[in-house]
Amino acid sequence: MTMTSTSRSDRRSGAETRAEILRVALKLFTEKGYEATSTRDLTEALGLTKSSLYYHFRNKEDIVASLMAGRRRDLDDLVDWVAAQPRTPDLPQRAALRWLDGTTPDHLRAMRLAHANQPLMRRLAESGKDVRTAFDRVIDLLAEDGASAQDRILLRMTFDTASAALLAALGTDADPADVIAAARRASLALTQATTDRAPHPSDASA
């Protein structure tokens, strides 16, 4: 068993092994629970030795930080995109939909992990490794000059609909596609409130 696992991991590149660790860890953390998932659970599911796992990640918290870092890079890309756009009234809507269109089932699993492990997320926030605290840059770019606190809260809510939809779907049989579709409809409604502009019919039917 050990020889088979070792040879299988040897055939993977370092980047492939790291990606597989993240994928399996996210699955175990959301299904079994972060605290309840041991290092042994991870190594057995991956077919790796502990030393191989520790070569890529120092500990479980380091794995979660890496999971969140991927979405942080997506946010950096969004900031660059918004900054390059003309300041049209529909920019908040286009930006919110762009963010949602990049949301995958794995992103939803990461959100579930974050919701269920607030102390861990606070530690990551203090080290600047979470996504929510970095959203101020997006809001600063999208908010009108002199925007009120309510206006800024509404803008932030347009990007937070996937998280809200995920929480609302707990205990239901909704699948990730349902959650993302509901979040998209909510973002359309919220950006209508922030821009005073009716959504395009093609958006409303999407």
Backbone angle region of 59, left / alpha / beta, with phi > 0 → left and psi within -120 to 50 → alpha: beta
Pair 141, 65 in one domain:
yes
- Total-model pTM: 0.76
User: Cα(182)–Cα(160) distance, rounded to whole angstroms?
Assistant: 12
Domain containing 98 equals 61-199
Residues 166 and 76 occupy one common structural domain: yes
Q: What is the DSSP letter of 173?
A: -
Q: Count of CB atoms within 10 A of residue 83's CB? A: 10
Q: Any idea which of 10-19, 39-48, 126-135, 187-196 has the lowest mean pLDDT?
A: 126-135
Q: Domain check: are 17 and 77 in the same one?
A: no
Query: Which tokens sit at 31?
Result: 């299904």
Instruction: Note whether residue 19 is domain-resident.
Output: yes
96-125 residue pLDDT tens? 999 999 999 999 999 999 888 888 888 887
Indicate whether 157 and 194 sit together in one domain: yes
Which tokens in the block code for residue 181? 């579709």
pLDDT in tens, 22-63: 999 999 999 999 999 999 999 999 999 999 999 999 999 999
